[in-house]
Amino acid sequence: MKTNLRTRPDLEELSLELLLRHAVKAKHGLEKESMRVKPDGTLADTPHPEHLGSSLTNHYIKTDFAEPQLEYATHPRPRIEANIRELQDLHIYTIRKLNNELIWPFSMPPILPEDESKIPLGQYGTSPSGKWKTIYRNGLGLRYGRRMQTISGVHYNFSFSNVFLRQFLRKEISQFTKEEISSLYLHVIRNFLRRVHYLTYLTGSSAVFDSTFLTDPNDPRFDKHKNFTRYCLHATSLRMSEIGYTSSVQDSLGIHYNSLGEYVDRMCYAVHTPYEEYEKFQTGPDRQLNPNYLQIENEFYSPVRPKQVPKGDERPLDALLQRGIEYVEIRSLDIDPYSPVGVCRHNLAFTQLILLDSLLNDSPPIEEAERKIHKENLNKVIWEGRKPELTVDVDGSQKNFLQTGEEYSESLRNYAKLLDRHTGRRTYQDAIDFQIKKWKDPLKTPSGKLLCEILKRDIEFRDKGMELARENRRALSYLEYSPGTLSRIEKEALRSFQEKEQLEREESQTQYPTVKLCNH
């Protein structure tokens, strides 16, 4: 796949090596969800551990949908390895505070209760913002089911450095406009959507799951193994399928990334417009935040989202309109079951290469016909990605997916060599070598490796999960913190409780603010 450097008219005259010298200074951040489980593989029924701080206000460790669903967040850092190390420190701290509980190692959930109403919603205290978060989660459960919301994943946040943007745009930082930067990130997002099915194949690890996840354990779409294991033979990431984080209602909204104005306009429509089916849930004040297509912006499911950090009580859409896009959030990564912290540095480095390639190639607007092709390609890979004869649409022709994916991965080799030259390591070339092995042998993918092991050893998914959870606890228990980390985590836990208590002392019943800049 030949790189077509038309993003900047004069970029071909610019040394690519000089540009990529500054690309290594990009900022990376990680968010990772994981379930706490009891020794028998069922959901932990204890509150969020007090030693971990307040789930409402801790910057490092919170909860996601369910009370036992931990959510970790790292600082933006210029090196992927530093992010992984910080995530490791947070895991070390957690396991030393969990007593007999373990951290579930998969994206697909552990053993769930037969009655999904017994999946406990996240609890955040008695402040207005704390109550609001629980009501929002109750609304998610009503709309999509609590089982689906227990699926966990990894979010990778990425932004180009200012020095890179200065070199790329040939402007001083003071001359950057929010429109230029937003347009650049939307350019990246569109091309990422054209390539996301490759990443889904390489990083998907959710082809197999526990039968308690299904409302119908005999769902004909899935094969049965032993008593409690269900799987799809050639699947890659069922987390990204219609049983996971995909919504036909949201697909009907026409939210696209051709311009920031168009994106915000459609999102504003979604958060302000009632949806008839959701109005049926509005039988009490604490059932959901509202009956709109989206209760809030974060309810929107997409493999990638444009982001800007809100200030104070500012809503995300207002933040985007006021200051433009600051970074992109990649949401298509499954938890890596063969990493004690659930992330693989090779996969993150390869994702960065995809984002760089997405910037340095043409990225025309995505019209409806092309959007449907992308969706069909991704859906094929989700359900049948490891099937040797699978074909996908490439420029209007059906081509073998595994061969096309290998060719695409090799096309990134020049970027990898130049980046490695400036880091003094083989981070990016090793990442490509790691992925090439998966294209040549689908059983080397996380989804293929995990399913093959479960079937070959004739064990249950739940038993493999507990086996890995115990192994991870042992491995992490022998590791030491990075210098100064323990003190920083403990101080943040204490600070978070103080902030939570302050919020609960406030008498004003502040409501979540409206989107002031939307006209809907």
Domains and CATH numbers, the chain: 9-506 (3.30.590.20)
**What's the pLDDT score for residue 21?**
82
**What's the pLDDT score for residue 517?**
56
**What's the pLDDT score for residue 412?**
97
**What's the pLDDT score for residue 15?**
75
Residues 6+ apart with CB under 8 A from 207: 231, 232, 233, 234, 235, 236, 237, 238, 386, 447, 448, 450, 451
3-state DSSP percent of the chain in helix, strand and coil, to 5? 50, 10, 40
**Rounded Cα–Cα distance for residues 308 and 156 (Å):** 14
Closest by CA position to 240, among listed 291, 205, 288, 189: 205
**What's the pLDDT score for residue 166?**
87
**What's the pLDDT score for residue 168?**
87
3-state secondary structure 443-487: HHCHHHHHHHHHHHHCCCHHHHHHHHHHHHHHHHHCCCCCCCHHH
Helix (H, G, I), strand (E, B) or coil at 147: helix
Burial label, 478 (beta-carbon count in 10 A; 0-12, 13-18, 19+): exposed
On the CB side of 162, CA atoms within 13 Å amount to 7
**What's the pLDDT score for residue 35?**
98
Q: What is the pLDDT of residues 24-42, one digit of tens each?
A: 889 999 999 999 999 999 9
**Rounded Cα–Cα distance for residues 249 and 264 (Å):** 18
Tell whether pTM > 0.85: yes
Residues 6+ apart with CB under 8 A from 414: 3, 16
**What's the pLDDT score for residue 176?**
85
Q: What is the mean pLDDT of residues 191-203?
A: 98
Closest by CA position to 489, among listed 84, 76, 72: 72
**Rounded Cα–Cα distance for residues 368 and 373 (Å):** 9
Report the C-alpha dihedral over residues 314, 52, 43, 118, rounded to 10 degrees: -50
User: In this predicted structure, which of 127-136, 308-317, 384-393 has the lowest mean pLDDT?
Assistant: 308-317
Residue 431 has pLDDT above 50, yes or no: yes
**What's the pLDDT score for residue 6?**
43
Residue 507 has pLDDT above 60, yes or no: no
Residue 446 has pLDDT above 50, yes or no: yes
Q: What is the mean pLDDT of residues 422-426?
A: 88
* Residue 465 one-letter amino acid: G
**b/e string for 361-374 if b means 16 or more Cβ within 10 A?**
bebeebeeeeeebb
Angle at 31 between CA 105 and CA 182, to 5 degrees: 145
**What's the pLDDT score for residue 5?**
40
Q: What is the mean pLDDT of residues 334-360?
A: 97
Residue 112 has pLDDT above 90, yes or no: yes
Q: What is the mean pLDDT of residues 276-291?
A: 92
Q: What is the pLDDT of residues 161-183, one digit of tens each?
A: 988 888 888 878 778 889 999 99
Average per-residue pLDDT in the chain? 93
**What's the pLDDT score for residue 19?**
83
Query: What is the biggest distance separating any 2 CA atoms in the chain, rounded to whole angstroms?
Result: 63
Q: What is the mean pLDDT of residues 35-59?
A: 97
User: In this predicted structure, which of 13-22, 435-444, 478-487 has the lowest mean pLDDT?
Assistant: 13-22
Closest by CA position to 250, among listed 262, 266, 237: 266
